[in-house]
Amino acid sequence: MNYLKMKGKIALVTGGAQGIGESVVRALIESGAVVAILDHNAAKLNSLVNELKLQGCNVEAFPVDISDSKAVTTVVDLIEDDIGPIDILVNVAGVLRIDLISSLSDQDWEKTFAVNSTGVFNVSRSVSKHMISRQKGSIVTVGSNATRVPRISMAAYAASKAAATMFTKCLGLELAQYNIRCNIVSPGSTDTEMQWSLWKDENGARAVIEGSPEAFKIGIPLKKIATPSDIADAALFLASERANHITMIDLCVDGGATLGV
Give one DSSP letter per residue of 14-56, joined into a string. Answer: ETTTSHHHHHHHHHHHHTT-EEEEEES-HHHHHHHHHHHHHTT
Residue 106, helix vs strand vs coil: helix
* CA separation for the pair 94, 77 (Å, rounded): 22
Please give the backbone phi and psi of residue 203, each rounded to the nearest 5 degrees, phi first.
-95, 15
* 157 a catalytic residue: yes
Task: Say if residues 80 and 130 touch (Cβ distance below 8 Å).
Answer: yes
Q: Which residue among 62, 113, 157, 167 is the active-site one?
A: 157
| Angle value at C-alpha 6, between 31 and 170, nearest 5 degrees | 115
SS3 content of the chain, % helix, strand, coil (to 5): 50, 15, 35
Query: Which residues are known to be catalytic?
Result: 157
